[in-house]
Amino acid sequence: MRKSILMAVVFLVIITSSLVTACKEPVSDFTFVDDLGRPIRIESTPERIISLGPSITEIIFALDLGDKLVGVTDYCDYPEEAKSIEKVGSPFPGFNMERIVALEPDLVVSVAGLIVQQLEQVGVTVVVIQPRDINGIYSDIQLVGQLSDKRDKAEKLVASLRKRVDAVIAKTSVAAGKPTVFYEVDGSWNANNPWTTGYGTFQDDLINLAGGTNIAAGRSGWYEMSIEEILNTDPDLIVLEDYQYGVTPDSIASRAGWSSLTAVKEGKIYPIEDPNVTCRYGPRIVDGLEILASAIHPELFSEGE
């Protein structure tokens, strides 16, 4: 079940990413351009907002707009207040159109998908945000701020995030080398061909910014990497996003053939306790960057720095 959901999400991201545009500047006082390059007309500041993505929900709360959220997805669980907001379904198996319309939103903020067309057909205003990297997250935070009359708040948040990212880059830029990293998205059901994250993904972007080299960057998107490829590249360290599924450093070390890897021999296996900080494209992505940087370059990041 988890494999089918992951594959479906990967397909959705690949399809929508090809349509993404970097343009975010308002065309006029009340018209904006979203991540699909579509002009969005906003007549007045939205008072009833529905979020169709956990990352979107986190952005909205970060801009102090949580009180305007009237609906969120089944997976929106951060911050804690998001859990009490009415749920409207999820991309898989599907959103509840009747419930969304009944909530009478002024604005729906969504990732791309068929739901966008369906909502627009019944007259609901929909903005799509689908960033490609951290710079895209900055732009989308600013876009949501423009849409909701929170421009100043958005600018301050982006400035704060940029400062933290720049601090990581400044530290890792003086490192002697760029350790190689195998980032395991999910190997809980097939340890010989675990899912990893290639070129063009958020995790790949984070690894690079954190001063590492992603061994899976030779291919794009998320894919299954064979044990032979992993053994041949012999990464310096292993990052476990699937720690949430019960994969641990000990279980990695016990996999057939894995004990010969440098990362296993040297004990450089790092679980990510909350994988949402590295896979959700919201403000907490910078938390994920700092976690990865500390794992890749522990010599540069002492505890508490």
Residue from 149, 236, 251 nearest 194 by CA: 251
Question: Are residues 98 and 57 part of one domain?
Answer: yes
**36 plus 125 within the same structural domain:** yes
pLDDT one-digit tens code per residue, 253-279 = 999 999 999 999 999 999 999 999 999
Number of domains making up the chain: 2
pTM over 0.85, yes/no: yes
216 within some domain: yes
Residue 29 confidence class, pLDDT cut points 50, 70, 90: low
- Alpha carbon 50 to its chain centroid, in Å, reads 19
**Residue 184 φ/ψ, nearest 5 degrees:** -95, 115
Q: Which residues, other chains included, contact 237 with Cβ-Cβ below 8 Å and sequence gap of 6+?
A: 179, 180, 181, 182, 212, 263, 268, 269, 270, 295, 296
Residue 304 within any structural domain of the chain: no
Statement: residue 302 has pLDDT above 50: yes
- Please give the share of the chain, as a percent, with pLDDT higher than 70: 89
pLDDT for 80-138, tens place per residue?
A: 999 999 999 998 888 999 999 999 999 999 987 888 999 999 999 999 999 989 999 99
302: in domain = no
Tell whether 52 and 142 lie within a shared domain: yes
In this predicted structure, what is the pLDDT of residue 176?
84
195 and 264 in a single domain? The answer is yes
Over the range 145-161, which residues count as b (16 or more CB within 10 Å of their CB) and which as e?
Answer: bbbbebeebbeebbeeb
pLDDT at 9 over 90: no
User: Residue 279 falls within a domain, yes or no?
Assistant: yes
| Confidence (pLDDT) at 246 | 94
* In-domain check, residue 32: yes
Report the C-alpha gap between 170 and 176 in whole angstroms. 13
Question: Is residue 305 in a domain?
Answer: no
Q: Are residues 177 and 290 in the same domain?
A: yes
In a shared domain, residues 204 and 106: no
pLDDT of residue 8: 43
In a domain, 87, yes or no: yes
Residue 255, domain extent: 169-296
Among 149, 113, 148, CA closest to 128:
113
Give the integer Cα–Cα distance in Å for 31 and 29: 6
Confidence at residue 20, expressed as pLDDT on a 0 to 100 scale? 39
Length of the chain in terms of residues written: 305
Highest mean pLDDT range out of 39-43, 45-49, 172-176? 45-49
> Which residue did the predictor score with more confidence, 112 or 69?
69
Using left for φ > 0, alpha for ψ between -120 and 50, and beta otherwise, residue 185 falls in alpha
Which CATH number fits the domain that encloses residue 93? 3.40.50.1980
Specify the pLDDT at position 91: 85
Q: Do 208 and 179 share a structural domain?
A: yes
Per-residue pLDDT at 196 exceeds 70: yes
